[in-house]
Structure 1
Amino acid sequence: MKKLLTLCLSVSMLAGLSACSTPQENTSQELVIYSPNSDGLIEATIPLFEEETGITVRLQQAGTGELIKKLESEKNDPIADVMFGGAHSQFIQNADLFEEYVSVNDKNLIESYQNTSGFTTSYVLDGSVLIVNKDLIGDIKIEGYEDLLNPALKGKIATADPSSSSSAFAQLTNMLLAQGGYTDEEAWKYVEELFVNIDGKIEGSSSSVYKKVADGEMTVGLTYEDPVLTLINDGANVDIIYPEEGSVFLPATSAIIKDAKNMENAKKFIDFITSQQMQDIYGTETTNRPVLENAKTSDTMKPMSEIPTLIEDMDYINEHKTEIVDRFKDIFASIN
Structure 2
Amino acid sequence: MKKIASVVVLSLVLVTLLAACGNGDSAKNKDSKKDNTLVVYSPNSENIVNTLIPMFEDETGIKVELVSAGTGELLKRISSEKDKPYADVMFGGLNKSKLTNEDLFEKYTSKNDKEMLAGHQNIDGVLTPYITDGSNILVNTDLIGDIKVESYEDLLNPKLKGKIAAADPASSSSAFAQLTNMLLAVGGDYNSQKGWDYVGKLIENLDGKVANGSGAVHKGVADGEFAVGLTYEDPSASYVRDGAPVKVVYPKEGSVYLDASLGIIKNAKHKENAEKFVDFMTSKEAQDVFGNDLTNRPLRKDAKLGDHMTPMKDIKTLEEDEDYVQKNKDKIVKEYTELFTKKQ
Does residue 48 of the first structure (1) align with residue 55 of the second (2)?
yes
Cα offsets for 1:77-103 (capped at 9, x unmatched): 111111101141564123232222221
Supply the distance in 2 between the matched residues of 1:293 and 1:302 (Cα, whole angstroms).
14
- Post-superposition offset of 1:27: 8.1
- Name the aligned partner's letter for residue 47 of structure 2: G
Q: State how 1:1-336 maps to structure 2 within 5 Å.
A: 28-89=35-96, 91-179=98-186, 180-336=188-344
CA shift digits 1:157-214 (9 cap, x unpaired): 1111111211111101111111121121101111111111112211111100001111
**Separation of aligned partners in 1, 2:231 and 2:151:** 13
User: Is the 2:112–2:279 Cα contact (8 Å) retained in structure 1?
Assistant: yes
Amino acid at match of 1:86: G
Decide whether aligned partners of structure 1 residues 145 and 325 sit closer, same or farther in structure 2, where only a CA change above 3 A counts: same
Task: Report the aligned-residue RMSD.
Answer: 1.6
Q: Classify the secondary structure of the residue corresponding to 1:221.
A: strand
Cα–Cα, structure 1 residues 267 and 214, in superposed 2: closer, same or farther, change >3 Å?
A: same
The structural deviation recorded for 1:35 is: 0.7
Q: Gaps spanning 5+ residues in structure 1: where?
A: 1-23
3-state DSSP of counterpart to 1:130: strand
TM-score normalized by the length of structure 2: 0.87
Q: Distance in 2 between matches of 1:218 and 1:41?
A: 28
TM-score by length of 1: 0.89
Name the CA distance, whole Å, in 2 between partners of 1:68 and 1:132: 36
SS, match of residue 254 in structure 1: strand
Q: 1:94 & 1:219 partners in 2: Cα distance?
A: 42
Q: Give me the identity figure in percent.
A: 54
CA distance in 1, matches of 2:313, 2:335: 34
1:284-334 deviation per Cα after TM superposition (whole angstroms, max 9, x unaligned): 111111011221111221111111111112222222222212211221122
Instruction: Indicate if the aligned counterparts of 1:26 and 1:261 stay in contact, CA closer than 8 A.
Output: no
Query: Within 1, Cα distance between the matches of 2:166 and 2:142?
Result: 19
Count of matched residue positions in the alignment of Structure 1 and Structure 2: 313
State the alpha-carbon separation in 1 of the partners of residues 130 and 289 from structure 2: 12
Matched residue SS, 1:260: coil
Secondary structure of 1:58 counterpart: strand
Q: Partners of 2:60 and 2:221 in 1: how far apart?
A: 42
C-alpha contact (below 8 Å) 1:26/1:262 kept by paired residues: no
